[in-house]
Amino acid sequence: MTAHIAPAVSRGRPRDLELRDLVLSSAARQLETVGFAAMTMEGIVADTGVAKRTLYRWWPSKASVVGEAILAGFIPVPDNQIERTEDLWADLSVWLHQAAISVRGPYGEVLRAATAISAADATLGDSMSAGFAAPARSNLLERFRMGVADGQLLEEADFEAVVDVLMAMVLFIGVNRQDTGRIEAVLSIIRSGISA
């Protein structure tokens, strides 16, 4: 999945696309090697040779650089599609465990960066959510619709709220680097509330 967002700042000369790619590639490397908290705009300047003034003219903060790098596909985001077997609860369990593995690996740093970016810049956070959280939400909601059609789930259940809980659990595991031991217990509680 890749998405595109507009340049962080539109004043001045148009951005050189080669230079843009160089900066976004550098941001991706730094995110992977040192993490969001430790990476700096100065590190990107040192890595790329881009003038500091140019870097800040195009991106006002490291959050804006990393946000664009994520949305432009320089930082890979796993495409974790939910299975569609006859067993809805097994499908959800597999999805949650795969998501947990992703967030405890290299993607966890992306998730932690996205959380920090969203807190610092609501507009960029909304763009990031639309770029890669929305597809996962849509995928889960479609699986729940199938569960209703199959007679496994209550039609009147608040599936948006269920998705919120599942996404929050993935976020919690990723941000806090927790293990996956509570996944089945959470699914059991959800199941008791929405099963037909």
**What's the token pair of residue 80?**
């974790």
Domain ranges across the chain: 17-71, 88-194
C-beta separation of 162 from 144 below 8 A: yes
**What's the token pair of residue 51?**
């003038």
pLDDT string in tens for the chain (196-residue length):
334 444 444 445 567 899 999 999 999 999 888 988 899 999 999 999 999 999 999 998 888 898 888 888 898 777 778 989 999 999 999 999 888 777 776 677 777 777 777 888 888 878 777 766 778 889 999 999 999 999 999 999 999 999 999 988 887 877 676 677 888 999 999 999 999 8
The contacts found for 17-24 with CB under 8 angstroms, 24 or more apart, are 19/48, 19/50, 19/54, 20/58, 21/74, 22/48, 22/50, 23/48, 23/50, 23/55, 23/58, 23/59, 23/65, 24/65, 24/68, 24/69, 24/72, 24/74
- CA–chain centroid gap for 125, Å, is 10
The pLDDT assigned to 13 comes to 58
Whole-structure pTM value: 0.70
CATH class of 17-71: mainly alpha
The pLDDT assigned to 127 comes to 79
The pLDDT assigned to 12 comes to 52
